[in-house]
């Protein structure tokens, strides 16, 4: 069954054990996930050279994606990462890892915030060469401020280079700061918006919290003893716990799961348009099926939407701005 907003499966979970982001460590299980995603009519997969320290891309290269497209990213881990030589080297690592699959969209995963960052012009000049060589179809940005998006567009137009046509950003029912400034900017330039983190790092799963504190499984991304991401998650989402307690009580009256409500809000009540997309994640086949079916369901009851809107108004002052990572 189709969805109003297209879905892209986030393959960050694929890869070797004991590497960042990965949860599915066997090719057979990864193939099962791919098969389920494709069976629901979705044929796009998202990865990054950063995920699994490259092993996410390598897994995808070994899987039968049934003719799906692949998007990948480069991460500015070291000073100069977006310079022409380093960018070229990492890009060709991605090409080799993903072979035989072609790259649809090549993203800059995060802005270069190092001291003396590489200029946008030098970075874009090299990416334009990738496009001229036929290695990529689209160029995209992730986690940049709107004024930086405008600068990339201006540089591309001035030089006749490939322009950014996709932006991947953090957006969900409890994090909507992209709506005020970023999304209008993207619409002005005809740039599609792909929303990642639809469940707020898993927070919008009822078992994740009690209403006053967070529950997490040992070894999960929320476990401070196991994940470098955990402190960031706890700090970021602590302010919304009271809201989630109230939301859970309302949803129980309708027999709607919290994660389902989050997916349905993005599909039917958010600022997304049918040319945009949602990045969907899962760490096993059961979760994939649940998330896909949740996205396929219709709009939410009006009082739930009203509660969600009021909750955002009451908490947005405490939530980080969209590109403040």
Active-site annotation, residues = 51
Could you tell me the CA-to-CA distances from 40 to 16, 20, 26, 27, 257 in Å, in that order? 26, 28, 22, 20, 21
Q: H/E element holding 279?
A: strand 277-280
Query: What is the torsion angle, in degrees rounded to the nearest 10, for the CA atoms of residue 120, residue 90, residue 323 and residue 19?
Result: -170
Q: Are strands 69-74 and 44-46 parallel, antiparallel or unpaired?
A: parallel
Give CA angle at 77 (127, 82), nearest 5°.
25
Phi, psi of 218 (to 5 degrees): -55, 135
Query: What is the torsion angle, in degrees rounded to the nearest 10, for the CA atoms of residue 302, residue 306, residue 308 and residue 310?
Result: 180
Q: How far apart are CA 21 and CA 2, in angstroms?
A: 28
Q: How far apart are CA 17 and CA 69, in angstroms?
A: 25
Q: How far apart are CA 133 and CA 73, in angstroms?
A: 18
| Helices of type H across the chain | 27-39, 55-62, 84-98, 120-132, 146-159, 182-189, 230-237, 241-254, 258-268, 285-296, 302-315
Q: How far apart are CA 131 and CA 124, in angstroms?
A: 10
Q: H/E element holding 72?
A: strand 69-74
Structural tokens at position 139: 């160029």
């Amino acid at each position: 069954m189709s969805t109003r907003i297209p879905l892209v499966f986030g393959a960050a979970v694929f890869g070797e054990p004991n590497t960042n982001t990965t949860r599915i460590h066997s090719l057979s299980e990864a193939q099962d996930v791919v098969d389920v995603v494709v069976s629901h009519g979705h044929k796009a997969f998202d990865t990054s050279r950063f995920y699994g320290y490259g092993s996410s891309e390598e897994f995808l290269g070994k899987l039968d994606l049934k003719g799906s497209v692949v998007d990948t990213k480069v991460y500015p881990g070291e000073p100069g990462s977006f310079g022409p030589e380093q960018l070229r080297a990492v890009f060709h690592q991605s090409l080799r890892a993903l072979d035989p699959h072609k790259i649809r969209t090549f993203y800059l995963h995060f802005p270069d915030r190092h001291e003396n960052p590489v200029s946008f012009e030098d970075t874009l000049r090299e990416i334009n060469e990738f496009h001229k060589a036929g290695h990529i179809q689209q160029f995209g940005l992730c986690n940049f401020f709107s004024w930086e998006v405008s600068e990339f567009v201006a540089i591309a137009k001035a030089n006749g280079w490939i322009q950014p046509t996709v932006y991947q950003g953090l957006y969900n029912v409890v994090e909507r700061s992209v709506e005020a400034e970023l999304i209008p900017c993207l619409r002005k330039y005809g740039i599609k918006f792909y929303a990642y983190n639809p469940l707020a790092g898993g927070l919008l799963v009822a078992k994740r919290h009690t209403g006053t504190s967070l529950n997490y499984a040992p070894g999960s991304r929320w476990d401070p003893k196991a994940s470098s991401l955990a402190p960031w998650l706890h700090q970021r989402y602590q302010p919304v716990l009271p809201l989630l307690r109230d939301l859970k009580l309302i949803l129980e009256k309708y027999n709607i799961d919290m994660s389902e409500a989050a997916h349905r809000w993005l599909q039917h009540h958010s600022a997304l348009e049918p040319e945009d997309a949602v990045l969907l994640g899962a760490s096993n086949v059961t979760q994939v099926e649940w998330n896909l079916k949740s996205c396929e369901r219709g709009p939410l009851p009006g009082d739930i939407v009203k509660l969600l809107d009021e909750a955002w108004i009451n908490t947005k002052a405490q939530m980080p701005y969209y590109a403040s990572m």
